[in-house]
């Protein structure tokens, strides 16, 4: 595999492989959405196939559900699972306190519901996702389609009194049409550049009529597994206050990963 993957994909793969070690037989596991989370689903599928791992997976999007079924993971709804032992998901940004920006893949609402219904949330990411201050990645805000332009104007007006560097927002598109989430909503991407007080911003946004949810995940993540292009991984546990490092070996394979394309 080492000869087939770019350094960024190697980083995603080793982070996912290491995070899979958190999963134990019989667990109910939230399965994230996005390119890094897809690596995790493939790793778990390999464990189901080769090691007899038995888990119930709660996907955070229709595409994750499809992938999970393809690799042999039993898929159940959150209502069926009721509560989860663990959620593993990616992130678009994370800071030193393990606060996150998520939603680049458009699944932030289901991702936040699933993550907060879990005993533990583990984030997998390549080292490029680490930032000193959140905000360089556009902040996704899910809004209902009705009156979305009014909601957008209200958000931009409110940002004047918030500690951010930028206040522009754009409607996320899918070709010539607005992007539509699994819940039938739209997404506004806020180009803030730097967020001075992420907790305050998250609270203010969610008080606005028309806003369904925002992509700031504050005090939700328990640990982050950071992957590097050379096979190194670093596990940062915010609760234990520990940082552990390891090196994962690559092996040539023609198994579940051969057709994985980001």
Question: pLDDT (tens digit, 9 = 90+) per residue, 32-65?
Answer: 999 999 999 999 999 999 999 999 999 999 999 9
pLDDT at 239 over 70: yes
pLDDT at 260 over 60: no
Residues 98, 107: Cα–Cα separation, whole Å = 19
Is CATH 3.30.2320.30 the classification given to domain 7-130+219-247?
Answer: no
pLDDT digits (tens, 9 = 90+) for 88-132: 999 999 999 999 999 999 999 999 999 999 999 999 999 999 999
Containing H/E element for 29?
strand 28-31
What are the φ/ψ torsions at residue 222 (nearest 5 degrees)?
A: -95, -30
Q: What is the dihedral of CA 192, 195, 198, 203, to 10 degrees?
A: -40
Q: Which CATH superfamily is domain 139-213 in?
A: ACT domain (3.30.70.260)
Burial of 55 (0-12, 13-18, 19+ CB in 10 A): buried
Q: Which residues are annotated as a binding site for substrate?
A: 33-36, 89-92, 102-105, 129
The alpha carbon of residue 216 and the mean position of all alpha carbons in its chain are separated, in whole angstroms, by: 11
pLDDT at residue number 5: 87
pLDDT at residue number 4: 79
- The active-site residue out of 46, 93, 111, 213 is 111
Q: Confidence band (pLDDT; 50, 70, 90) for 13?
A: very high
pLDDT at 3 over 60: no
Decide if 13 contacts 37 (C-beta within 8 A): no
pTM score: 0.93
The residues spanned by each domain of the chain are 7-130+219-247, 139-213
Q: Confidence band (pLDDT; 50, 70, 90) for 249?
A: confident
In three-state form (DSSP H/G/I as H, E/B as E, the rest C), the secondary structure along 184-214 is CCEEEEEECCCECCHHHHHHHHHCCCCEEEE
pLDDT digits (tens, 9 = 90+) for 125-170: 999 999 999 999 999 999 999 999 999 999 999 999 999 999 999 9
- Residue 68: C-alpha distances to residues 33, 58, 214, 262 (Å): 11, 9, 26, 16
Containing H/E element for 9?
helix 7-19
Containing H/E element for 100?
strand 100-101
Upper half-sphere CA count for residue 33 (Cβ side, 13 Å): 25
Q: Is 244 a catalytic residue?
A: no
pLDDT at residue number 1: 46
Containing H/E element for 7?
helix 7-19
Residues 128, 36: Cα–Cα separation, whole Å = 12
pLDDT digits (tens, 9 = 90+) for 175-228: 999 999 999 999 999 999 999 999 999 999 999 999 999 999 999 999 999 999
């Amino acid at each position: 595999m080492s000869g087939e993957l770019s350094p960024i994909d190697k980083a995603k793969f080793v982070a996912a492989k290491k995070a899979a070690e958190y999963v134990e037989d019989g667990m109910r596991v939230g399965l994230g959405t996005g390119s890094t989370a897809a690596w995790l689903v493939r790793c778990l599928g390999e464990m189901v196939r080769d090691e007899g791992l038995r888990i119930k997976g709660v996907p955070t999007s229709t595409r994750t559900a499809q992938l999970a079924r393809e690799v042999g993971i039993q898929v159940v709804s959150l209502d069926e699972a009721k509560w989860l032992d663990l959620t593993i998901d990616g992130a678009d940004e994370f800071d030193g306190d393990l606060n996150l920006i998520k939603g680049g893949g458009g699944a932030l609402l289901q991702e936040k519901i699933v993550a907060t219904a879990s005993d533990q949330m583990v984030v997998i990411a390549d080292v490029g996702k680490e930032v000193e201050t959140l905000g360089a990645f556009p902040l996704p805000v899910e809004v209902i389609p009705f009156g979305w332009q009014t909601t957008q104007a209200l958000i931009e007006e409110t940002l004047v009194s918030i500690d951010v560097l930028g206040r522009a927002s754009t409607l996320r598109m899918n070709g010539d049409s607005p992007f539509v989430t699994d819940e039938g909503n739209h997404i506004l991407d806020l180009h803030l550049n730097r967020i001075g007080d992420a907790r305050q911003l998250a609270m203010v946004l969610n008080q606005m009529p028309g806003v369904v949810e925002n992509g700031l995940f504050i005090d939700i993540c328990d640990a982050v597994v950071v992957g590097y292009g050379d096979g190194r991984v670093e596990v940062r546990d915010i609760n234990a206050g520990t940082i552990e490092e390891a090196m994962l070996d690559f092996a040539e394979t023609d198994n579940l990963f051969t057709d994985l394309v980001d």
